Structure 1
Amino acid sequence: MPKLSIITIVYNNVRDIERTINSVINQTFRDIEYLVIDGASTDGTLEVIQRYKNQISKIVSEKDQGIYDAMNKGLAMAKGDYVLFMNSGDELYDEHTVEDVFESSPGADIYYGETEMYNDNWENLGRRRHEAPEVFDWKSFKFGMSISHQAIYIRRSITTPYDLKYKYSSDIDWIIKAAKKSSNIVNVHRYVAKYLVGGMSKKKHFESLKERFKILTKYYGLVPNIFNHIIIAGNLVTYYFKHRRTND
């Protein structure tokens, strides 16, 4: 079985960090290198992390230039065959998740699965609006980010550092780059992550959308991207109308 590097990025999140750590260290899959990159937290987060220092492979606590700079630090330290980012507030779906992912098919370049959303009170909001596609390749993001960052395991040898010119959506660029290099992408057909809604891309939603448009234009072309966004807008309206009617 391969070795997996799980990287957790955190800054001043004392409320949620322990939940994320426990979801990693309680995995039945044992060959995990766990890296925690803290941005010099001042709210007690580091003290919580230190309580688990014997179960964490490496802890770094220092100022950084933002979330993707911190992710690059973790990526540069990683030694595993695969990498997974499970940032503070998010969780692996259950204790068998990693084991099930790697048992689904040997030797894939990328494994991916489905994500469940949770609100700030850790109440289940159900599956993400973008359902994970049955088949995934580098063109699959043309109608939206259909796989969440927490739900994709990528062979480390095909990864590149995050492009720091993108402050809110560099993960989309990063996944597309890896998918373009991949020859074997496996849908594990299970929930693999729990995602805490309300990250930086949500707080800076308009800036994030502008960045996403630039990234998708780079890969898919301007005219196709405009056309695809018309479809995205239509799908969004249909989703919310249907969702509202269901709740009425």
Structure 2
Amino acid sequence: MPTPPKISIITVVYNGAATLEATIKSIACQTYKNVEYIVVDGNSTDTTLDIIKTYAEVIDKWISEDDKGIYDAMNKGMDLATGDYLWFMNSGDRIAQPTTLKQAIDSMPDADIYYGETVMIGSDGKEIGDRRLKIPDSLTFESFKRGMLVSHQSFIVKSSLVQHYDVKYNYSADFQWCLQAIKKAQTICNTRLVLSEFLDGGFTKQNIVPGLKERFRIMVQHYGLASTLYHHVFIALKFFGFVIRHKRF
């Protein structure tokens, strides 16, 4: 029987004493066992390192040092990774269920990319609701004209398809990174699963305006100005409609 592919799961964290343990536990309980777990800490000043050391049996590799931002830290994680696939699950985010990773990989052996839905959770760990943007039934390079329809935490990609995050982007390098991977991919699998639970109010939400500006620039780079302006009319309408209905974004 062939050996299942190795999945490198990478968590970046800075002063995550209140959030990191839940992330680690969601990875430790996975029924899929060929996992390499990497934690990149940005030289935390709270008790994050104590938590990392407590779970030394779960964490295969970890470093704690200053970095130049979240995407620099992610690049360090990629440099440490030896897996066939990469999955970023940052501090406070969780894999949805113990069987999630096994079900995802079993859904299509050797896919280039696996993707799925994301559920939003609050700081108390309780579910808030679905993510504002819904995943497409079939993910293609054209899909992201309508925004980042797949959350970064619900995107598992072959390591051979990706390169370092472009650190000239401070807030939306993940958008660019996913786009580049999708463009190269031959087989993209919709797992039809909730893959991740995303902690609301984190880095992305705290920087929503500059993040959207960067994302607009990236979309213009890939799709052109006219197409980006056209699709942003519908993106804006959907955004405000969601806010009105759900009183959140």
**Match for residue 158 of structure 1 among 133, 156, 161:** 161
Which letter maps to 2:104? V
Equivalence for 2:26: 23
- Structure 2, gaps ≥5 residues long: none
Who is 2:125 aligned against? 122
Identity percentage over the alignment?
A: 43
Residues 1:49 and 2:44 are matched in the alignment? no
Distance between the aligned counterparts of 2:19 and 2:245, measured in 1? 32
Distance 2:137 2:41 in 1: 35
CA separation in 2, counterparts of 1:175 and 1:243? 28
Deviations 1:77-96 (A, max 9, x none): 11100000000000000100
Cα separation, 1, equivalents of 2:171 and 2:240? 24
2:143 alignment partner in structure 1: 140
Give the alignment's TM-score, normalised by structure 1. 0.96
Amino acid at match of 2:58: Q
1:59 corresponds to which residue? 62
Summarize deviations over 1:10-47 as a string: whole Å, max 9, x none.
Answer: 00010110110011111100000000000010100010
Range moving further from structure 2, 175-184 or 227-236: 227-236
Q: 2:88 aligns with which of 85, 89, 92?
A: 85
Compute the displacement of 1:179 (Å): 0.5
Q: Could you say what secondary structure the match of 2:141 adopts?
A: coil
Work out which of the residue numbers 173, 176, 182 in structure 1 matches 2:176.
Answer: 173
CA distance in 2 between counterparts of 1:86 and 1:65 reads 19
Secondary structure in structure 1 of the residue aligned to 2:196: strand
- 1:184 corresponds in structure 2 to 187
- Structure 2 Cα separation of the partners of residues 238 and 41 of structure 1: 39
Any unmatched runs of 5+ in structure 1?
none
Q: For residue 9 of structure 1, what is the amino acid of its counterpart? A: V
SS at match of 1:166: coil
CA contact (8 A) 1:11 1:40 kept: yes
Query: In the aligned structure 2, how far is the partner of 1:109 from the partner of 1:138?
Result: 14
Aligned residues: 245
Which of 200, 208, 221 aligns to 1:197? It is 200
